[in-house]
Amino acid sequence: MIVPMTKYNIVLFAQQKEDFLNKLQDLGLMDITITSWEPNDDQRELILSIERHNTAISRLKELAKDENFVPGEPYSNGSEAYEKYLEASHNLDTLNAEIAQAEKDAAELKAWGTFNPEYLEQLRESGVILHFFSVYTHEYEANIVEWTEKYNIQSISEEGGITYFVAITGPDEEVAINAQEIKAPSTTAQEKEAEILKLNKEREPWLKQMARAAASIDMIAEHGDTEKERLQLSQAAASAQEEAEGSLVIMEGWTPSEDSAKVEKMLDEYPNVFYIKSRPTPEDNTPTLLKNGKRMRMFEIIGRFYSQPKYGTMDLTRWFGPFYALFFGLCLADAGYGLIYFITGLVMRAKLPKMRDLANLITVLGASTIVCGVLMDSFFGVKLTGWAPLAGLKNYLISDHMFYIALAIGVVQILFAMILKIVLYTRRFGFKYALATLGWFLMLLTLLPTLADVLDISVPESVLVWSPVKLGILIVGAILMLFMNKPGRNPFINFGSGLWDLYNNIVGFISDFLSYIRLFAIGLSGGILATVFNDLAVGLSSSIGVPVVQQIFLIVILLFGHSLTIFMSSISAFVHPMRLTFVEFYKNAGFEDTQREFTPLKRNRKIDNQNKSN
């Protein structure tokens, strides 16, 4: 559900603004409206600092994943850990760049072998000039005779189809050789390799410093949160509207109605503050806060991939959640894969309490997949009914009827979404504004048996008969949709608009209706792929004569095949039900989104407690 909000317009003296906002941040219950905010230099620096903190956390997490990583002793606080990270990161980046350049130089210098660069200078002083060249070997071989007639040529090496050579001339002699001339090397590959070793030793203390920062990653994240709090406070202060020549400021704030008593107590106790309490209006940009029970809160994770519902509309989380779980199960459609999800979810619930909602979601999706997999007769691509104790399941399988079941589920969800839209419009604008949707709903309801007959779905003959009641419902629905699409408008304009809506609704319904075929297609493709890997594993391994090798080969193919299948099928099972939810269901339910979530001024209590203890 969408939590009811209370609006506060607050007036106070300008000199109180900073202290007042700090009090609100301590309270942690009010979202201050940010308007016309342009960051100044300090705020831009805060934004950059937040981005650097995020980068630091990502880099340290990657470092911690390395199998050779050994965590160091954590730093005493987040500020120190972050500063030490920045220092180590900067120096490591510089050293890594120098090592990369040295490795590149060493690779290029290897072609010239071992020599003493000082001898080159001594030769130059004595009038002997060495010109260094590289050229494709086939060109070298084609021109070496001609070049040798003019110059003293000495081949040095040949690597990767490139020949490296020198031409020896006098001090004033020009060299006309069609090859890439290279600047005379001032060092050797051996010296560069020694430089690389030296640079790697210089990295060691910085790597240890990074290891300590990685062990302090939680403190760095908390320090980043304080930067976000500072930015949030700065934004709120900058958005306050100045009045009375700058002596007063006006702010707009929002708080959940259930917490309004706590907010008003703070406002009443704060000196020289005047406030007006009111309910949100449709014109307000009211922040949205969702609050669902334990059973449905997990599906908020899915909803956040799209957007939050606009305040004053309807939170569809509880309504799309069961459908999404069902769709996921039908798309993955294998009891064995569902068992993996189910066990993973249970383990996450036990080991990762901070990820309880995600763990619950994975568990529910796994349970749905197990049920759908059993009804689809698939356990890691093996037919369950092939096992004698489960042979009786044949009477309950849905695999042969999945095409029609997918379409039927689509009709149910679309009609259910339209009912929600009728309820929503009635609640927001009044029942008369929901009449057009009600009319379209009644028309669909009466036409469904005919649609089923067209699709060759067996329905009782009595349902197909056009009785006076059924015909009357259809006519009433048509009148409502054609003449009540905008109450109070000219009936002729409404009729023309209604005809256009009728065309759009028919085309839209057919498109939405057919979209649910994906439930059948995706589930079928995953099951076929699993069966193919099973047959492939058995077929290839049976040709191996050694039993032990045969079993190993069989297991390897099955592990690879089913890992690939569950990965690909899981992506489809995650994305396509989401698409059905956000397009077909949301559209027919009249979903309206907002970009403003409830984000109260608040302070990190954990950091405050650490500061007090320090």
pLDDT at residue number 611: 45
pLDDT over 90 (residue 230): no
Task: Give the C-alpha separation, 614 to 612, whole Å.
Answer: 5
The pLDDT assigned to 613 comes to 45
Which H, E and C letters describe 179-212, residue by residue?
CEEECCCCCCHHHHHHHHHHHHHHHHHHHHHHHH
Determine the pLDDT at residue 463: 65
Please compute the mean of the pLDDT values over residues 273-302 and round it to a whole number: 90
Buried b (16+ CB within 10 A) or exposed e, 394-429: eeebbbeebebbbbebbbebbebbbebbbebbbeee
Answer whether residue 182 shows pLDDT above 90.
no
- The model's pTM is 0.76
Has residue 271 got a pLDDT over 80? yes
For range 183-190, the mean pLDDT:
86
CA distance 106 to 109: 5
Strands 129-136 and 162-169: antiparallel
Question: If residue 267 lies in a helix (H) or strand (E), which one and from where to where?
Answer: helix 260-269
Indicate the pairing of strand 5-13 with strand 152-159: unpaired
For residue 545, the model assigns a pLDDT of 67
pLDDT in tens, 309-336: 999 899 999 999 999 999 999 999 899 9
Q: Is the dihedral of CA 458, 461, 467, 469 positive or negative?
A: negative
**Confidence label for 612 from pLDDT (cuts 50, 70 and 90):** very low
Nearest to 170 by CA among 125, 199, 200, 128: 128
As a whole number, mean pLDDT of residues 437-441 equals 88
Beta partners for 166? 132, 154
Checking if the pLDDT of 539 tops 60, the result is: yes
Beta strands in 269-326 (DSSP E): 274-278, 308-309
% of the chain beyond a pLDDT of 70: 96
CA 526 – CA 386 distance, rounded (Å): 19
Distance CA 265, CA 256 (A): 14
pLDDT at residue 506 is higher than 80: yes
Q: At what angle do helices 217-239 and 17-27 cross, to 10 degrees?
A: 130
Side chain identity at residue 113, one-letter code = G
pLDDT of 606: 53
Each residue's pLDDT tens digit, 347-379: 999 998 888 999 999 999 999 999 999 998 888
β-sheet with 129-136: strand ranges across: 152-159, 162-169, 129-136, 180-182
* Mean pLDDT to the nearest integer, 284-311: 90
pLDDT reported for residue 554? 84
Higher per-residue confidence, 404 vs 416: 416
How confident is the model over 44-71, as pLDDT tens digits?
888 899 999 999 999 898 888 887 788 8
For 583, residues 6+ apart whose C-beta sits below 8 A from its C-beta are 512, 515
Round the average pLDDT of the chain to a whole number and report it. Answer: 87
Instruction: Give the Cα separation of 162 and 157 in Å (integer).
Output: 8
Q: DSSP labels for 222-252?
A: HHHHHHHHHHHHHHHHHHPEEETTTTEEEEE
State the pLDDT at residue 8.
93
pLDDT for the residue 360: 93
Share of the chain above pLDDT 90, in %: 35
**What local confidence, expressed as pLDDT, does residue 363 receive?**
95
Q: Which residue has the higher pLDDT, 550 or 94?
A: 94
Question: For 28-33, what is the mean pLDDT?
Answer: 90
Please give the pLDDT value at position 109.
87
Contact 12, 272 (CB under 8 A): yes
Distance separating alpha carbons of residues 430 and 353, to the nearest angstrom: 44
End-to-end CA distance of the chain: 42
Q: Are 73 and 212 in contact (CB under 8 A)?
A: yes
- How far is C-alpha 229 from the chain's CA centre? 24
Sequential DSSP letters for 2-13: BPPEEEEEEEEE
